Amino acid sequence: MKKVRRSLRAARRITNFVIAHYLSAIEAHRRNKWVAWCTAVPPPIEILYAMDIQPLFPENYACVCAVRKETMELFRKSEADGYLQDLCSYARCVIGFLLGGKAPLGGMEKPDFLLSTKNVCSIYLKWWQVMSHYLKKPLLILDCPRITDKIEKYHIEYVKDQLVSLIEELEKITGESLDINRLRSSVELSRKAAELWHKSLDLRKNKPCPMGVTDASAAMFPYVVSAGARDAVEYYKMLYEEVKNRVKEGIGVVDEEKYRLVLSGIPYWHNLRLFNYLEEKYGAVFVYELYTATWGIYKPDPSKPLESLAYKSLFNPINLPGEWTVEWIVKVMKEYDADGVIMLSSRSCKATSLLHPAAQKVLSKEYDIPCLIIEADHTDERAYSDAQVKVRLDAFMEMLEARKEK
Amino acid sequence: MNIDDLLNDPIQYVKKTAQSCGRNVVAFFPVGVPIELIHAANLQQFPLIIMSEDFSAADAYMHTFACSLSRSVLQKFLSGDLDFVKAFIIPDICDSLWSLYNIVKLTDPNRKLYLFHYPPKKDDKSLNYFKGEIIKLWEFLKELSLSQSSEEILKDSITKFNEQRKLLRKLNNMRKSNSPPFSGTDFFKLMLAAFFMPVEHHIDMLNSILGNIEKWGTKKEGVRLLVSGHMVENVALIELIEESGGLIVADDMDIGSRHFSQDLAVRKDIFAGIAEHYLMTPSPYRHSVEDRAEYILKLAKEFDASGVIFLIRKFCDPYLFDYPILRRMLEEEGIPSLLLEYEFPFSAAILRNRVEAFIEMLR
């Protein structure tokens, strides 16, 4: 039976937010302000907002290209230049644009400098070096050591020290000093947005689940790009109210919610309809994504802005030990009363994918949590086979059904 | 044991050597991990440049789009072949190795693992943090040791490795000649041995080779090439290039010139000296592509190489990201290059075809 799907009004408004975000960089240059290309997993963009520097995010831009199915020409451009198909498809997409490929929304406004963190993958550093080379613009790097046990004081001191140097560099670039009170306000805005975003996500513990994965994947955008700016806070106020109302009225993503799922990995942006398939055919709803929850997972503290931003940069699930991720999944499975985990592995994203098979083994053996791994690519649809993926999903759902009947 | 025996069964070699020297074994990926520390802690080093032909155990725990080196190590680990290893040092250089660290930890939480961090910058703050990392590694190694160690012993170890570096440079410089007395394959085998053998034995070997250079190695003719790559694990790959008409006269590799091009300066602050040495060695894991291009161009000119072969394992992202720009920067200087991407086990026929076509073009 085909189930009815409902999307949030707030999620539909994201298109406008996205357009406004890319226009804001053009506007920044028009006002003689600065534009920086930043990595998307918690770099301290609160500092940039406090200094009137507009950040832009190549990874998000690649998502936009994939959702609009406008990646192929960009891939062809970068591949013709020697960037192999095994390399990060986000990177190949944006490098294709830098090499002259035709890109949606008129392309990204070119930056005055680039800022890369090293808290997710080794690709961040290499990809940003490549872009800095083509753009002939300086690259600033924030090094975040991997955490093998817990975040220690010396890790925080190291990153904080680098933030001090980063601010000095930014002051040189802009010719203006950072006002610490503006930084505090910006961190406060970031904290508020993170809190509202996670309060909205928490509401998905309710049955039926009021917000689906497609909406959550869209609604995370403001926090990624605007942590530290007012528009993100406004957006999440609106989102939170809408989701809360849905809970009050008992409105779910689908009419008959039958299965509750947890998602690990990056959504396949070129085929978000895959989620509709599960919702419509099985009444299976994603109630938690490790991916969307990554942003805002740590709420920075405006009373100690630098230390707190250092912690935020380090505290990113992929930068934490594998056991941490396994425990995280076990915890949310319980809290959200979920039935199983679907892991979307991406052939060109080792950082978010390589742990999947080992985690699957531990989750099923030690915790009896059913997990399915799908292998495709987050941006490159050539690595995706719809029929094969659906066969695997069908088999998994049948297994979940059998477990429910027991 | 001669070099060929060592290379035929490196695991057996490490086991035997450790046993005869009465040492615990520490395995490490030889990418900027200070080998001097392992030596000074009186531990037997085991460079993880090993290959597996069977991936059945590893495939259940790691995706096949991780590189074949990390999958090989995982396979050997899961099948119990590395049970004799006391601890593993995994440098945090790429996503495959960070995942390998996590996967090993998940499958065997009691295993002693050490993740070694590299800052991606060369400024004072990075240097200082890296120094701290080196001291922590030193403490970790000393705990594994069966004997006492000290900074004095560490100084001696550095002196020994500098002696080895000096001898390797001497041999390496002979490759500048129009007709080098030995092949690139000979030299590469010697480099692999440098990472496996106790340094004292290796120095003896180098001295005896240098004392009788005309009798050592095989003189080869061929188009002069520079090979750029990472932890190449297989002599067959180097052999294949030389059998296809190339003569490797220079390299930009971890198992190669990166190890010996500079001495490690013994400073008053011994750990600061070690940090500086290992942070400055050109490597895609921390350096910009421009720095690397400069290093490769300098080598290619010094050693009069007609072309460059980038020997890169499939799925090795940091190297593959640098390749297109390096290729173009070399082209601008009139040096053609070839990307030879391989995965273990590889098809020699396909690789040979590509190398032959490249060499034809250079002739």
Q: What's the one-letter identity of residue A358?
A: A
- Residue A377's closest CA among A131, A92, A15, A76? A92
CB of B80 less than 8 A from some CB of A? no
CA–CA dist A37, A57 (Å, integer): 6
Tell me, what's the pLDDT at B353?
A: 96
In terms of residues, how long is chain A? 406
What parts of chain B have a pLDDT lower than 50?
A: none
CA–CA dist A167, A294 (Å, integer): 25
Give the bridge partners for B9, in sequence order: none
- Residue A319's closest CA among B135, B132, B117? B117
Whether A2 shows a pLDDT value over 80: the answer reads: no
CA–CA dist B197, B208 (Å, integer): 15
Other CB atoms within 10 A of residue A309 CB: 29
Secondary structure (DSSP) of A143-172: E-PPPSSS--HHHHHHHHHHHHHHHHHHHH
- The mean pLDDT value for A57-75 works out to 95
The class level of CATH for A11-181 reads alpha beta
Largest CA distance in chain B: 57
**What is the helix (H) or strand (E) element at residue A305, kind and residue range?**
helix A305-314
Of B117, B289, B318, the CB nearest to A122: B318
pLDDT of B20-79, one tens digit each?
999 999 999 999 899 999 999 999 999 999 999 999 999 999 999 999 999 999 999 999
Contact flag B98-A86 (C-beta cutoff 8 Å): no
Cα-Cα-Cα-Cα dihedral sign, residues B122, B124, B126, B128: positive
Tell me, what's the pLDDT at A328?
A: 98
Q: What's the one-letter identity of residue B203?
A: I
| Strands, E assignment, B217-346 | 223-229, 246-252, 307-313, 337-342
Q: What's the gap in Å between the CA of B130 and the closest CA on chain A?
A: 11
CA–CA dist A229, A275 (Å, integer): 31
Tell me, what's the pLDDT at B281?
A: 83
Secondary structure (DSSP) of A328-366: HHHHHHHHTT--EEEEEEETTBHHHHTTHHHHHHHHHHH
Of B65, B92, B101, the CB nearest to A350: B65
Testing the interface with A: which of B31, B59, B65 to mutate, by most A Cβ within 10 A?
A: B65
Whether A340 shows a pLDDT value over 80: the answer reads: yes
Tokens representing A28 are: 């920044």
Q: Are B114 and B88 in contact (CB under 8 A)?
A: yes
Contact flag B325-A133 (C-beta cutoff 8 Å): yes
Q: What's the gap in Å between the CA of A399 and the closest CA on chain B?
A: 20
Other CB atoms within 10 A of residue A170 CB: 22
- The mean pLDDT value for A321-345 works out to 98
Whether A406 shows a pLDDT value over 90: the answer reads: no
Give the bridge partners for A284, in sequence order: A259
What mean pLDDT value characterizes chain A?
95
pLDDT of A360-378, one tens digit each?
999 999 999 999 999 999 9
Testing the interface with A: which of B129, B134, B327 to mutate, by most A Cβ within 10 A?
A: B129
Q: What's the gap in Å between the CA of B103 and the closest CA on chain A?
A: 6
Cα-Cα-Cα-Cα dihedral sign, residues B347, B349, B355, B358: negative
Other CB atoms within 10 A of residue A189 CB: 23
Q: What's the gap in Å between the CA of A62 and the closest CA on chain B?
A: 17
Backbone angles phi, psi at B53, to 5 degrees: -95, -15
Largest CA distance in chain A: 68
CB of B221 less than 8 A from some CB of A? no
Q: What's the gap in Å between the CA of A220 and the closest CA on chain B?
A: 25
Contact flag B95-A354 (C-beta cutoff 8 Å): yes
Q: What's the gap in Å between the CA of A143 and the closest CA on chain B?
A: 6
**Which ipTM did the prediction report?**
0.96
Residue written as token pair 């390096």? B326
Tokens representing B181 are: 């007395």
Residue written as token pair 């040092």? B89
CB of B95 less than 8 A from some CB of A? yes
Tell me, what's the pLDDT at B1?
A: 61
Whether A4 shows a pLDDT value over 80: the answer reads: no
Q: Quick check: helix, strand or coil at residue B64? A: coil
The residues spanned by each domain of chain A are 11-181
| B113-116 vs A284-289, strand pairing mode | unpaired
Task: Choose the weakest-confidence range: A50-59, A194-203, B136-145, B225-234.
Answer: B225-234
CB of B22 less than 8 A from some CB of A? no
For B261-297, b where at least 16 C-beta lie within 10 A, e where not — what string?
beebeeeeebbbbbbbbbbebbbbbbbbbebbbebbb
Percent of chain A with pLDDT over 70: 99
Cα Rg of chain A (Å, integer) = 21
CA torsion, points B3, B8, B14, B20, in degrees to nearest 10?
-70
The residues spanned by each domain of chain B are 3-151, 177-362
- Residue B356's closest CA among B245, B250, B191? B245
CA–CA dist A338, B287 (Å, integer): 45
Tokens representing A117 are: 């963190």
B124-144 and A153-174 helices cross at what angle (nearest 10)? 160
Cα Rg of chain B (Å, integer) = 20
- Residue B191's closest CA among B145, B251, B138? B251
Interface of B with A in 298-327 (CB under 8 A): 314-315, 317-318, 320-325, 327
Contact flag A322-B102 (C-beta cutoff 8 Å): yes
Residue written as token pair 């070690």? B274
pLDDT band of residue A137 (cuts 50, 70, 90) is: very high
Q: Are A379 and A66 in contact (CB under 8 A)?
A: yes
Across the beta sheet with A34-38, what order do the strands follow? Answer: A53-56, A34-38, A113-118, A139-143
Testing the interface with A: which of B56, B64, B92, B106 to mutate, by most A Cβ within 10 A?
A: B106
Contact flag A145-B117 (C-beta cutoff 8 Å): yes
**Which residues of chain B does A353 touch, with a Cβ-Cβ cutoff of 8 Å?**
63, 65
CA–CA dist A162, A182 (Å, integer): 20
pLDDT band of residue A43 (cuts 50, 70, 90) is: confident
Q: Are B13 and B5 in contact (CB under 8 A)?
A: yes
Q: What's the one-letter identity of residue B353?
A: N
Q: What's the one-letter identity of residue A304?
A: K
Backbone angles phi, psi at B157, to 5 degrees: -60, -45
Q: What's the gap in Å between the CA of B121 and the closest CA on chain A?
A: 8
CB of B106 less than 8 A from some CB of A? yes
CATH 3.30.930.10 fits B177-362, yes or no: no
Contact flag A87-B321 (C-beta cutoff 8 Å): yes
Tell me, what's the pLDDT at A84?
A: 97
Secondary structure (DSSP) of A115-134: EEEESS-HHHHHHHHHHHHH
Nearest residue of B to residue A86 by CA position?
B315
Interface of B with A in 156-215 (CB under 8 A): none
Contact flag A357-B60 (C-beta cutoff 8 Å): yes
Q: Quick check: helix, strand or coil at residue B254? A: coil
Contact flag A158-B129 (C-beta cutoff 8 Å): yes
Q: What's the gap in Å between the CA of B153 and the closest CA on chain A?
A: 28
Omega within 30 of 0 (cis) for the link into A42? no
Cα-Cα-Cα-Cα dihedral sign, residues B196, B202, B203, B206: negative
Of A143, A355, A362, the CB nearest to B119: A143
Q: Quick check: helix, strand or coil at residue B305? A: coil
- Residue B311's closest CA among B361, B251, B357, B258? B251
Percent of chain B with pLDDT over 70: 100
Whether A1 shows a pLDDT value over 60: the answer reads: no
Contact flag B63-A88 (C-beta cutoff 8 Å): no
Structural domain B3-151, CATH architecture: 3-Layer(aba) Sandwich (3.40)
DSSP assignment, residue B61? T
CA–CA dist B350, B359 (Å, integer): 15
Q: Are A347 and A383 in contact (CB under 8 A)?
A: yes
Tell me, what's the pLDDT at A126?
A: 95
DSSP assignment, residue A242? H
Tell me, what's the pLDDT at A404?
A: 87
Tokens representing B260 are: 């010996």
